[in-house]
Structure 1
Amino acid sequence: MVDMTPLEETVRSIEAQTGWDGAPRLFALVETGELLRAQPELAGQLGLSPDDALTAVDQGDLEDGDIGALLPGIVWPSSVAGVALAMVRVTLPPEVEEEIPAEGDAVAWAMAHPRHEELRIVAGALRDGSRHAVLRIRSHEEELLSAADLVPDVTEALAQTLLPEEG
């Protein structure tokens, strides 16, 4: 069995707990050892172990709109080692793009299209530059794609939220 990085383990764990319905969710990734030193009572409450490298702290639902516009406004304190985003997206084959109506709800139209695919994506980035993402296609739920460069635009946008604020 191939050893996984702590980030890969964490994004896989988030993906395994994420459903197909619901808004995108943002997670602060914190070093478990630091979290348990600061709040030891969480070990029992959350079932955490000092052996866990990272703990994903759910920040709640995001507005299901333009995530690319939302992420640049997010800044994390230095106690956050990384960030992860879980979302479901709908995709269509390129030859169908011309059929997308200019007016109305394009997402609803895409969901109703017989050739649509739903993708569940969990992407993460750490302050040390590490990045990883997993992707599951609903029509092939038994398969999980996993790579550092799977969704580079998303992991780059997440990494940008970890940069120190310019003052």
Structure 2
Amino acid sequence: MDNTPPDVPASAHLAAQPLTRTVLEIDSYVAGLGWDRPAQLFALVDTARLRVEEPGLAERLDLDETAEEGLTPVEQDELPPGVPLDEFLATIAWPDAVAGCALTLERLMLPPSVEGAVPEGLSESELTRWVSEHPQRQEVRLTVAVLRDGARESAVRRREKDSDTEVLTGPDLVPGLARALAATFEE
């Protein structure tokens, strides 16, 4: 019998690793909220530990004894507007009870075949404008998660193929963001 909550996508049921299941669960949750949203940060906590140490929160999150073991994402407050992401992440210090964290954000991406066509010497704002006007740009939502032990996982969802079955996963899809999130656990 499958005890996974019904709002978890079918692809998450098939994922072998708890971190992959968690990333897919977060991706599906955020997808349900729609596009054109600000970045969202999640603390990742051990589900069994959460049930023992925070039974009230576990109850509010509907984590009864039949809930799947692994990681539970806990959505954090909105990121402060106008603060660059790297500066914001540098201010985070997680308590010991947090096993990891995840971040979702939307970006424009270009296919690798376009890399050689990027004009040299563009400022950051000029590059952003150039990418946003490029005919091969793709809108994507990135979900990146890291654990204290160094494990990483990512999911990429393209807006043009907005389906749980079309989400690409892998540990090294967004290495720069994964490094920035991992740095929030360094002392």
TM-score, normalised via structure 1 length? 0.82
Query: Alpha-carbon deviation of 1:2?
Result: 5.3
The counterpart of 1:11, out of the listed 23, 39, 55, is: 23
Residues paired across the two proteins, number: 164
Q: Which residue of 2 aligns with 1:70?
A: 88
2:119 counterpart SS class = helix
Q: Which residue of 2 aligns with 1:133?
A: 154
Q: Aligned AA for 2:76?
A: Q
1:29 counterpart SS class = strand
Task: Report which of the two has the higher share of helix.
Answer: 2
Contact 1:24 1:64 in 2 (8 A): no
* TM alignment of 1:81-160, pairs within 5 A: 81-92=99-110, 93-94=114-115, 97-98=118-119, 107=128, 110-111=131-132, 113-142=134-163, 143-160=166-183
- Note the alpha carbon deviations across 1:20-42, whole angstroms, 9 max, x for none: 22110111111111111122233
C-alpha separation between the residues in 1 aligned to 2:14 and 2:149?
22
Shift in CA distance, 103/90, structure 1 to aligned 2, threshold 3 Å: closer
The question of 1:57 aligning with 2:50 is answered no
C-alpha separation between the residues in 2 aligned to 1:105 and 1:44?
48
2:90 counterpart SS class = helix
* TM alignment of 1:39-50, pairs within 5 A: 39-50=54-65
Contact 1:100 1:106 in 2 (8 A): no
C-alpha separation between the residues in 2 aligned to 1:31 and 1:68?
26
Shift in CA distance, 108/47, structure 1 to aligned 2, threshold 3 Å: farther
- Note the alpha carbon deviations across 1:78-106, whole angstroms, 9 max, x for none: 11100100000012443663399869786
Q: Aligned AA for 1:58?
A: E
Shift in CA distance, 96/11, structure 1 to aligned 2, threshold 3 Å: same
What 5-or-longer segments of structure 1 have no aligned partner? none
Shift in CA distance, 49/109, structure 1 to aligned 2, threshold 3 Å: farther
1:139 counterpart SS class = helix
What 5-or-longer segments of structure 2 have no aligned partner? 1-12
C-alpha separation between the residues in 2 aligned to 1:69 and 1:61?
15
Task: Report which of the two has the higher share of strand.
Answer: 1
Query: Alpha-carbon deviation of 1:141?
Result: 2.5
Query: Alpha-carbon deviation of 1:124?
Result: 0.4
C-alpha separation between the residues in 2 aligned to 1:132 and 1:103?
27
Contact 1:32 1:49 in 2 (8 A): no
Contact 1:86 1:122 in 2 (8 A): yes
Q: Which runs of 4+ in 1 moved over 6 A?
A: 103-106
Contact 1:28 1:83 in 2 (8 A): yes
Q: Aligned AA for 2:21?
A: E
TM-score, normalised via structure 2 length? 0.74
